[in-house]
Amino acid sequence: MAEALVTPEVLTWARERAGLSTAALAERLGVEEGRVIAWETAAERPTFGQAEQLARTTHVPFGAFFLPSPPDDDLPLPDLRAGGAHRSPALDAAFKDALGDVFYKFDWYREYRRQEGADPLPFVGRYSTRTEAAVVAEDMARVLGLTPEVRAASRGAEEFLRRLIGLAEGAGIWVLRNGVVGGNTHRPLDVGVFRGFAIADPVLPTIFLNGRDAYAGQIFTLAHELAHLWIGQSGISDPLAVPSGRAGAARVEACCNRVAADLLAPRQDVQALWVADLSLDRNAEILARHFRVSAMVIGIRARDMGLVDRDTFERFRDAELQRWRRLRESAEGGGGDYYVTARSRNGGRFMRAVVAQAMSGHLLLRDAASLLNMTPKTLRVAHARMGEGRL
């Protein structure tokens, strides 16, 4: 069989990018490990069929294997997750491909918004990390229209998350919530790697939430990423990691956590409702129901207000994260409505804009389908459902 003249260094890069050892890659390809090592040292060449299988397994375009050197894999956003002793896991191929998918959509949507005459939104970068958290949170609540009545009308975390996303979209913020790469359900996103990211662009402020997280976790991440927009700081986040490592990144993340906690559970209200004789667990349970947020948010508030010590909070946080993991695992496997899921993954306004442009002939159907991670057939069905008011 004809050999594929792949570049060994690119093959090694693709394998490492996918987080695979030579043994693991060999197992997936159905060859001996020595064969993979021979490919990477240029002692042998894979066949074209094996090279195509390599591309599918590592999720790297087939043509990339023939480049003279590995392509630039630099991130378009700063990584603000924890460093130092509490370093977050390396950003994996699934995250990088999901980020690339979002920026592919972002470039189209920003140009569309610009052509539609969208003005820069004044709240993006209105404050800095030096501004008091309560001031930023108060302005966020005003711009979003987040009132006690909105909280009271939400019957649980899932509904409150939907309402909060709706308020953000109403303010001109693009929110995507996805737990997989694009529309590929075989490539889940790892909550242990990241929980969200923000693009603080004045014309198209954008938030991405890792949909694999529990609803309660997504609420806090959403509030955290909103804070990123208000202080004008783009970045990749894990709000529940211990802020550490690089001073600048830790300062930004700690600031956004304080603002998020103030937005979701204002300090003066928590102080008024806190019962000193009760444990953190019991107080968190009571106040979480009152504010329609997670117990974790109350725990963070209590720590920042000095109502509990750091050791008590860290034990509580670890227990809550374990509980979220169990909830997430028990909820996995559900199908749901494909088109409702697609709207959540893409953001409702973006999806409507793409479908409208395609059906009016201003955008090729195949290009519109690519932007939405759909097929032309499913895009037409989405259009019909929108016309019926069912999407």
* C-alpha to C-alpha distances, 232 to 169, 201, 251, nearest whole angstrom: 18, 8, 14
Kindly state the average pLDDT of the residues 217-232. 95
The reported pLDDT for the residue numbered 328 is 65
- Looking at residues 77-99, what average pLDDT do you find? 84
Tell whether 100 and 224 lie within a shared domain. yes
Mean pLDDT (the chain) is 90
Q: What is the pTM of this model?
A: 0.86
Is the confidence at residue 84, as pLDDT, over 70? no
Q: Percent of the chain having pLDDT more than 70?
A: 95
With beta carbons less than 8 A apart as the criterion, state whether 243 and 229 touch. Answer: no
Range of the domain at 46: 8-66
Sole residue written with tokens 């909280």? 151
CA torsion through residues 26, 32, 33, 38, sign: negative
Q: Are 238 and 194 a contacting pair, CB within 8 Å?
A: yes
Q: Tell me whether residue 382 is in a domain.
A: yes
Q: What is the pLDDT of residues 126-140, one digit of tens each?
A: 999 999 999 999 999
**Residue linked to tokens 């750091």:** 310
Between CA 18 and CA 14 the distance in angstroms is 6
Q: How many domains does the chain have?
A: 3
- Considering the chain, what percentage of its residues have pLDDT values greater than 90? 69
What average pLDDT does this structure show over 35-42? 93
Strand order in the sheet with 235-237: 174-178, 206-210, 196-199, 235-237
Query: Quick one: 125 and 260 in the same domain?
Result: yes
Instruction: Identify the bridge partners of residue 174 per DSSP, sorted by sequence position.
Output: 206
Same domain, 126 and 232: yes
The whole-number pLDDT of residue 87 equals 73
Q: Which residues pair with 177 in a beta bridge?
A: 209
**Distance between CA atoms of 63 and 55, rounded to whole angstroms?**
9
Identity of the highest mean pLDDT range in 225-234, 262-271, 295-304, 310-319 = 225-234
Local confidence band at 242 (pLDDT 50, 70, 90 cut-offs): low
What are 245-258's pLDDT values in tens digits?
A: 566 888 999 999 99
CA gap 46, 13 in Å, rounded: 16
Closest CA to 244 of 253, 236, 255, 235: 253
Contact assessment for residue 342 and residue 351, using Cβ atoms and an 8 Å cutoff: yes
Q: Would residue 318 count as lying in a domain? A: no
Residues 17 and 108 in one domain: no
116 and 61 in one domain?
Answer: no
Rounded mean pLDDT, 302-309: 92
Mean pLDDT of 277-298: 91
Band (pLDDT 50/70/90 cuts) for residue 83 is low
Verify that 150 and 248 share a domain, yes or no: yes
Does residue 272 register a pLDDT over 60? yes
Per-residue pLDDT tens over the stretch 104-163: 999 999 999 999 999 999 999 999 999 999 999 999 999 999 998 998 888 888 899 999
Residues 106, 255 within the same domain: yes
Task: Specify the CATH number for the domain of residue 20.
Answer: 1.10.260.40
231 in a structural domain = yes
Domain-located, residue 306: no
Mean pLDDT over residues 166-170, rounded? Answer: 97
Q: How confident is the model at residue 239 (pLDDT cuts 50, 70, 90)?
A: confident
Residue 296 included in any domain:
no
Angle at 303 between CA 231 and CA 229, to 5 degrees: 15
133 and 218 co-located in one domain:
yes
pLDDT value of residue 243: 58
Q: How many CB atoms lie within 10 A of CB 44?
A: 14
pLDDT at 210 over 80: yes
User: Does 230 share its domain with 110?
Assistant: yes
pLDDT in tens, 185-208: 999 999 989 999 999 999 999 999
Asked if residue 244 and residue 101 are part of one domain, the reply reads yes
Domain co-membership, 18 together with 138: no
Is a pLDDT exceeding 60 seen at residue 102? yes
Residue 276 placed within a domain: no
Q: Which of 37, 192, 203 is nearest to 110 (CA)?
A: 203
Is residue 14 domain-resident?
yes
Of the listed ranges 4-18, 61-75, 294-308, 361-375, the least confidently predicted one is 61-75
pLDDT value for 86: 62
- Domain co-membership, 119 together with 41: no
Give the residue-averaged pLDDT of 43-59: 90
Specify the pLDDT at position 348: 94
- Which of 227, 243, 267 finishes a domain? 267
Among the three residues 225, 244, 267, which one is the final residue of a domain in this structure? 267
Question: Smallest Cα–Cα separation from 240: which of 166, 297, 278, 285?
Answer: 297
Q: Is the pLDDT of residue 70 over 70?
A: yes
Q: Specify the pLDDT at position 88.
A: 80
172: in domain: yes
User: Which among 237, 267, 297 is the end of a domain?
Assistant: 267
Residue 82 has pLDDT above 90, yes or no: no
